[in-house]
Structure formats: structure tokens, C-alpha cells
Structure 1
Amino acid sequence: MTSPETAGWQPLSRRDISTREEALFEGVPNHLVRPLKAWIAEYLDGHPKLTGRVALRMKVVLDTPDPEQLVEAVAVGDPSLLLDVVDVVLHLDRGLWWELDVAGPEPLMEAGAADWIPDFGWPKGSKGAAVESLDDMLMDAGSAFEVDWRHKRLQRRVDGSVTAAAEQAMGMDAGRHLQTAWSAVYGRQPDPSKAYDEAIRAVEAAAIPVMLPKGKTETLGKVLTHLTDADRKWELAIAGPSDGSVAPLIEMIRLLWKGHVARHAGGPNFRPQRQDEAQMAVHLAATLVHWFTTGAVRPRTSG
């Protein structure tokens, strides 16, 4: 939902200094506290039931379901918890879900008058328009989080092209595991070990029907063994200099499988997965799922 005029934009004082992306703020920096409080209070204004539910989720005691009292009570100890409030609001508001999933944005009368005018937009005063303003606010403030429009919550900001590739893979049979992995690694409360577990399951769901269709208790480890032993029977869509050799695929699967150190609790090498490992695993899994479900990995047709 990011508007095109903001993509890659830098203020004048920084344009000639560096083209490197500015570091993002993990919590709620001082310059974002007041605007975020105002957005929450305005969004919840006139919705006492939703305000009460949000307060219960945040374990905040209110005298009355007052949005302003809610945001002040949450922010007094840790302003970063305001992001949790936003996350809960997006998750609980069924009216917002209706607008996003059913009603949708409306055609704009001005569409086509200029290249930068979109064909559709949210009506003034709608929940969709409010969430769009929230997304713009987070981006302008340099927040590490953005609106996850698909799942109605916040997620860690990721490059748009990367997100699009992952979403394409999520739409396939292994998508349920990949979606869970994505949420576990990029959500407000990351769980790297769970994300890595689900990344493995996603690849297993995509690879086993292709590699070992008759098996009932197969694992990614068995897929790796099969590919290693029968590498001449398979090829990749890109022939490259090695005539479609699956060697790169084998190394990718080996990296994902052997890097799963949290697989055997109590083992000599057991430890929780790190966040950076989980992020890499999820993106690697998205690529592998795409390869296996689109025929990019296939039986070799030539000797």
C-alpha cells in the first residue's frame, strides 16, 4: 500500500551522503510515540467493545473503555508496547476484516487523470483509509514494522520483491507451513525455532510428492539422500554450464537440513535457532517450495 512517491526517497540533506538504506527503529522512537497514540485513540473512539477487548488482551485495567486512558496506561512503562496495541486492534476488529476481505477499496473518479493516481482507494473515514494512514506513518517514521494487509496485523518490514516471491509460494500446497514460518519469523513476537521447523515442513510438503511419492514417513533428510544417490535422474529447469545438474539444489537442501540444530532436543549440538538463521531458512524454503511445485525440479529427459 506504499505510495510510489515515497519509494526510495531520501531527504535533501542525505541524498548525496549515502545511498545505503537508513537503519530502522525496532521499538517506538520518541518521534513516533505521540502520532501512534493519536492514531490508536482515534481508531478506537466510539468503539467501547473493541477498546475493552484490546485492554483485556493487553492486561490493562480501565475505569471505562476509554481509548486515551488505554494508550497512556500502555505507554507509561514501555512505549514499544503501543505496537502491540496496534497489532491487537488490527487482529480483533472484524469490521476492518470485512472492509479488507469483502468490501475492498472503491474505484476513484480521478483514476487515469495521471500515472500516479491509483485506480482504487479507500473511502474517506473508512477503516481501510485509517490503516493506510497508519502504514504511511510507520514508514515515514522509519519503523521496522509495517501493516500485514493479508493477515491484519503488523509484521517486520521486508523488501517488497522478497515479500512478493514468498507470497507466491504461500499460495501453493505447502503454503500453510510457509505462512506459519513467515509469521513466526517476522511477527511482533518472533519465534526463530518455530519458523525454522515450519520452513522444513514446507519444503517437505513440496518435495516429497515429487521425489518420493510412494513414501508415507519421509523427511527432508530422505529427500536429500535420494537426490544425492540419484542425482543423474533429475534436472533443473536452468541447464546452465552443468546441463541442469541438481548439485545446487542438493547443497541448498543440505544447508537447510543440516542447519536445523533445534531438530533434536537434548542432542549434543542442540540449541534454539537464531533469528538470522530462521530468516534465511524461511526465504530458502520459499525458493525450494517454488522450485518443487512449478516443475523447476523434474526427471531428466536426456542422458
Structure 2
Amino acid sequence: MNDNWRPLGLDSDTTAYDALHDGVPDWMAESFWDWMRTQFLLSQRSEEYPGALDYFLDQDLVRQVERRCRVAIPYRGYSAEIGMSEIRSSTEAAQAQLRVADFLLATRSTEHAGNSLDVVLEESGSKWRVGERSGSRGLVRRVRDSVQTAVDNAISSGGHAGDRLALAWTATYGIDPNPSLAYSLAVKAVEDAAIPVVSPNDTSATLGKINSQIRDTGDWSLPFQREDEYAPAGSTLLSMMKMLWAGQADRHGGHHDPDLFVTQEAAEVAVMTAATLVQWFTSGAVMRR
């Protein structure tokens, strides 16, 4: 497949074509539901036509989807066509198509089926792709491959901090994002990575306390051979950590200001910042002069 192909007439401006789309747009719907059909239907050898297969609805799965995805699907029969039509109508009315697909990915689908759905999502320009969340296959927001690789490296090599970072990534880019939880986990991931380096004798230190220690000693750095005199590496490191700490708007309980909440955009910045800091601390890049 030629990934560089663009529709005739858009050669000079592909911005609209390359934009990512949420939900299940019209041009993706039939391919998407063809995939859903492979998950909901069971087959058996046809008694009427030797060598052929008869398909019927997996009612046990339908009821499980109802309970776990909170989508009412009133059909109780086994007809493949009627059943799939009812499932489609019910999930589209609840705007739960991706939620159901995410559940099927995590609990039912094979690697081949996951790859098949991923092709549909990618070719349709979906903002979602098939990835991994908390150890299970599922839908995650699409980011640039280079960014995903960098975060994956920080997660895989970060030990306990990497585990927290993975949870923060899921809470940020998963199908049901939780920005407040994501930001909190991002802060904890940095604490997990920084405490053994900065404050090994105080395992209960918070990011605020770690920031104070780095500020007071004033001799932390990164392995650069040259630095800008107005932005030395140690100051930049501390600025990033202080930014992460101060930006957690809902860190303290008891406030009643409706403006103090963590937005999705803030959570995304926090998790990306945390990924960089976790990698720096766990790889030994952060050191005292």
C-alpha cells in the first residue's frame, strides 16, 4: 500500500485529509462493522449446504457487552443479520461503538483481529489505534511514532516509575481519559524515578521536597559538554520539575474554585514531561557535578 497517496485534487493541501477523526465517521463505518461482526458471530457447519457455514449471534457475549459497556441491546434472538443490526443501532444511539470495540479487543480478539482493526483505523484517519493499556490490548489515542517510541522506552526501562508512567499514559490517552488521575500518576512516576537519585534516605519525599533539595544544593546537571549561561541544564531540569509540580491544579483537597481542575491538555503536557524526567533520572543522566 502506498501510504503517500492522497486524493486527486488535494496534492497541494492535504491538511484536511490528514486530520485525525474521532468516533466512527461515515467512511469508516462499514469496515468497522465488518470487524465487529467477526467478534459477535459464531459459526457452525451448515446442515443444509455441505461445506458451508451458518452464522449465529453469540448471545452470551451480547449480554456481557451490555453489562460491561453499559449499553442496552434488547435483541434476544440468534439471527446473525437481525442481531448485528440491533447491536449497531443500540451502540450508535449510545455513541458507544469505540467503547464496545475496546472491550472486545481487551477480552476477546486475537492478535490478528487486533491488527485487522488497526488497519481500518489507520486508513480511515482515526485518532485511535490498537495499542496496549494496563497489560491488555485496547484503543489508545494516536500520537507520532517517534513520541510513542520515546515514551515506550521510558516505560520499559523505568522500573516502578515506568509502571506508574504507563498508568498515567493510559489515563491520558485511553478510550476513557481521566486527566486528574493522569496528572497525579505522572507526578508519582517522577517521584519514583527521582527519589533514589536525589533523596535515597527519604523514600516518602514528595516532588515538592525533591525540588527544594535540587534548588538548595544547586549542583545538579545533565551530561552536556556546553551549556547556555542563562539556561544551564540544572536550572532547566529544576524548572521542568517545578512546572510539573505547580501545574497540578487539583493537588490539594477542600478547594471550591470551579476553575481549579486538570484539563486534558494539561494532562498530556504533564505526562510527556514526566516521560522525559523519568528517562533522565532512571538512565543516570541526572547527576551532581
Give TM-score, length-normalised by structure 1.
0.79
Q: Secondary structure at the match of 2:136?
A: coil
Amino acid at match of 1:63: R
- The superposition leaves residues 203-260 of structure 1 with CA deviations (integer Å, 9 ceiling, x where unpaired) of 000001100000032000011101111122x221123225864111011001100101
C-alpha displacement at 1:70, in angstroms? 5.2
* Residue 197 of structure 1: aligned partner: 184
* Residue 99 of structure 1: aligned partner: none
Amino acid at match of 1:236: L
**1:290 to 1:178, Cα distance in 2 relative to 1, 3 A:** same
C-alpha displacement at 1:267, in angstroms? 3.3
Q: Secondary structure at the match of 2:105?
A: helix
* Residue 67 of structure 2: aligned partner: 56
Residue 265 (structure 2) pairs with residue 276 (structure 1): yes
* Residue 261 of structure 1: aligned partner: 249
| Aligned ranges 1:126-275 → 2 under 5 Å | 127-149=110-132, 151-171=136-156, 172-173=158-159, 174-232=161-219, 234-242=220-228, 245-267=233-255, 271-275=260-264
Amino acid at match of 1:57: R
- Counterparts of 1:280 and 1:153, CA distance in 2: 22
- Counterparts of 1:206 and 1:51, CA distance in 2: 43
C-alpha displacement at 1:138, in angstroms? 0.8
**1:188 to 1:70, Cα distance in 2 relative to 1, 3 A:** farther
C-alpha displacement at 1:51, in angstroms? 4.0
C-alpha displacement at 1:187, in angstroms? 0.8
Q: What 5-or-longer segments of structure 2 have no aligned partner?
A: 43-56
* Residue 74 of structure 1: aligned partner: 90
Residue 4 (structure 2) pairs with residue 17 (structure 1): no
% same residue = 33
**1:239 to 1:226, Cα distance in 2 relative to 1, 3 A:** farther
**1:142 to 1:245, Cα distance in 2 relative to 1, 3 A:** closer
C-alpha displacement at 1:198, in angstroms? 0.3
CA contact (8 A) 1:221 1:257 kept: yes
Q: Provide runs of 4+ in structure 1 moved above 4 Å.
A: 18-21
**1:36 to 1:177, Cα distance in 2 relative to 1, 3 A:** same
- Counterparts of 1:193 and 1:185, CA distance in 2: 9
**1:182 to 1:40, Cα distance in 2 relative to 1, 3 A:** same
C-alpha displacement at 1:20, in angstroms? 8.0
CA contact (8 A) 2:250 2:260 kept: yes
CA contact (8 A) 2:6 2:14 kept: no
- Counterparts of 2:100 and 2:86, CA distance in 1: 9
205-214 or 62-71: bigger deviation: 62-71
Equivalent of 1:30 in 20, 26, 41: 26
- Counterparts of 2:278 and 2:25, CA distance in 1: 38
CA contact (8 A) 2:21 2:126 kept: yes
C-alpha displacement at 1:19, in angstroms? 6.2
C-alpha displacement at 1:18, in angstroms? 4.5
CA contact (8 A) 1:26 1:144 kept: yes
Amino acid at match of 1:238: F
- The superposition leaves residues 86-107 of structure 1 with CA deviations (integer Å, 9 ceiling, x where unpaired) of 00101112xx4xxxxxxxxxxx
CA contact (8 A) 1:37 1:71 kept: no
C-alpha displacement at 1:12, in angstroms? 3.9
C-alpha displacement at 1:69, in angstroms? 4.6
* Residue 87 of structure 1: aligned partner: 102
Give TM-score, length-normalised by structure 2.
0.82
Q: Secondary structure at the match of 2:287?
A: strand
**How many equivalent pairs are there?**
262
* Residue 54 of structure 2: aligned partner: none
CA contact (8 A) 1:239 1:245 kept: no
C-alpha displacement at 1:285, in angstroms? 0.1
- Counterparts of 1:138 and 1:222, CA distance in 2: 44
- The superposition leaves residues 4-56 of structure 1 with CA deviations (integer Å, 9 ceiling, x where unpaired) of x42x5533432222568732111211222222122101232217244442233
* Residue 40 of structure 2: aligned partner: 44
- Counterparts of 1:207 and 1:143, CA distance in 2: 36
- Counterparts of 2:270 and 2:214, CA distance in 1: 20
**1:247 to 1:293, Cα distance in 2 relative to 1, 3 A:** same
C-alpha displacement at 1:199, in angstroms? 0.2
